[in-house]
Amino acid sequence: MKKHKNIIIFLIKFFATYFLFVALYNNYLKNSQQKDGDYKASSITTAVANQTVDVLSVFNYNVKAVQHDQEVSVKLIIEGEYTARVIEGCNSISLIILFVSFIVAFAGSLKATLLFSLFGSVFIYVVNVLRIAFLTVMIYKFPDQIGVLHDLIFPAIIYGTIFLLWVLWVNKFSNYKR
């Protein structure tokens, strides 16, 4: 049992953190989005869609975000064409919860853990907004490639970012660094 102590402690810290944040997030979603009658996406999902519009506007695209009238999502309309939608799973919060849970499970000093969790979460959020903006443009320009773009390339960007942050954390800041 002693030999597996670190693994057990890691798993307990990871799952305790993960389930706590998931419970808090699910409560937020329950109170923030509307599924009956008039659909309304959560404020975070709407913010991600609006920030995507802001990014694309910098590059002179005519783009707007509109609450979908038949589901809990926000439509991204580029050059007058409904191109993509932002759903709850696209707002990066679930991935940030996973990221922070790992950081807490492989904790370093309290200060390092809190700062890396905060700045890593902000970085993931920003990368995600840029990823959605890029995906929207690519789908607009190459609609026949939506499967490859949405299902392969763009998940690789966000998961690759999180993986690299985890590697940086473990090797430079956690108590388990070499």
In-domain check, residue 158? yes
pLDDT value of position 5? 86
In-domain check, residue 137? yes
pLDDT value of position 178? 53
Backbone angles phi and psi of 36, in degrees to 5: -105, 135
The residue behind tokens 């953190």 is 17
In-domain check, residue 177? no
Nearest CA to 150 among 86, 95, 103, 106? 86
Alpha-carbon gap, residue 95 to 100, rounded angstroms: 9
pLDDT value of position 6? 83
In-domain check, residue 178? no
**Burial environment of residue 131 by CB neighbours within 10 A (0 to 12, 13 to 18, 19 or more):** buried
In-domain check, residue 47? yes
In-domain check, residue 72? yes
Give the count of domains, the chain.
Answer: 1
- Prediction pTM value: 0.93
Backbone angles phi and psi of 84, in degrees to 5: -150, 170
pLDDT value of position 1? 65
Q: For the chain, 178 residues long, give each residue's pLDDT as a single digit of tens.
A: 677 888 899 999 999 999 999 999 999 999 998 887 789 999 999 999 999 999 999 999 999 999 999 999 999 999 999 999 999 999 999 999 999 999 999 988 999 999 999 999 999 999 999 999 999 999 999 999 988 888 999 899 999 999 999 999 999 988 875 5
Type of residue found at 165 = L
Structural domain boundaries enclosing 107: 2-172
